[in-house]
Amino acid sequence: MIAAELTIGGLTRRFTLRLPPGTSGEIPLVLVLHGNHPEATGAQMRDWTSFDAQSDAGGFAVAYPDGHGGCWADGRGVTTADEAGVDDVAFLRAVIGWSAERHGTSGDRAVVAGISNGAFMAHRMGVDAGDQVAVLAAVAGGLPASLRDVTPAHAVSALLIHGTADPVSPIEGGWSRHRGRDGELRGRTLSLAETAEFWRAADRCPPGPGDTRATEFSSRTAVTGGVAGTQVVTWTVTGGGHTWPGAEPYPGTEQVTSREFDAAEEICRYARPLLAPATARRL
């Protein structure tokens, strides 16, 4: 593991980078973003998920960045990072650039994957940094409504995984639990269906219901044919909670976690054929 620091907006930001063994040429890069908790770090996502194993098996480099105060400024305006004016888009852009310059990772076709607040931040990177991000994977987190009217400059493939029984970030969308000073509702996110429609439209996917494959435990719908081969996949986990499929339940929760698939493995499998350069994905 390579530990690194960058100074962004006067703040010292930290992350670790894991390089796959025995690779040559340009290396795919995955950024893994944690959720919102005062003690959350990239190291926790490394321990909780199987991205290290996917790095070995698939030749991916994996970056585990730390949010500011355990959270990300995802654009909803409700996290402490948002309220402090932290520029997490600039930070994650810098991680991608730093890794490309020093270690030969992809500079214009990174993958950003996250859960909850990290999923919201993955959407923001897809919208604001599509020249560097080719694929986003959002687990338990829809598109922040504040981004709904923003037109991305690049097509970005999106894998959207959400449980039907998520009480924290409902699959139907809704408002953040973090109210304003006077109790006002803030930080609305779109439903899984609305989020998928946003990315399908942004990627200029053809109309139609897509290809759906259902099991006893989940339903997966893929809409393909977007600019530069981009595609949007919704993966609905029946009865799934605010959890990472394939991992142990997050400490302190008793929500249902799918054992049908490993989200980290599926994210890497999904992303591998979709890493088109920014020039091809330009809208």
pLDDT of 17: 97
Confidence of residue 270 (pLDDT cuts 50, 70, 90): very high
The mean per-residue pLDDT over the stretch 61-79 comes to 96
pLDDT at site 179: 73
Between helix 263-271 and helix 51-58 the angle, nearest 10°, is 40
Summarised one tens digit per residue, pLDDT across range 125-149 is 999 999 999 999 999 999 999 999 9
Q: For residue 145, what is the DSSP state? A: G
pLDDT band at 242 (very low <50, low <70, confident <90, very high): very high
What is the homologous superfamily of the domain 2-281 according to CATH? Answer: Alpha/Beta hydrolase fold, catalytic domain (3.40.50.1820)
CA-CA distances (angstroms) from residue 23 to 64, 83, 134, 273? 20, 41, 21, 18
pLDDT at 250: 66
Q: Would you say the C-alpha torsion 92, 124, 29, 266 has a positive or negative sign?
A: positive
**What are the φ and ψ backbone dihedral angles of 280, each rounded to 5 degrees?**
-75, -25
The model's pTM is 0.96
Instruction: Give the number of residues written for the chain.
Output: 283
Domain boundaries, the chain: 2-281
Strand-pair partners of 26: none
Residue whose structure tokens are 């991916």: 60
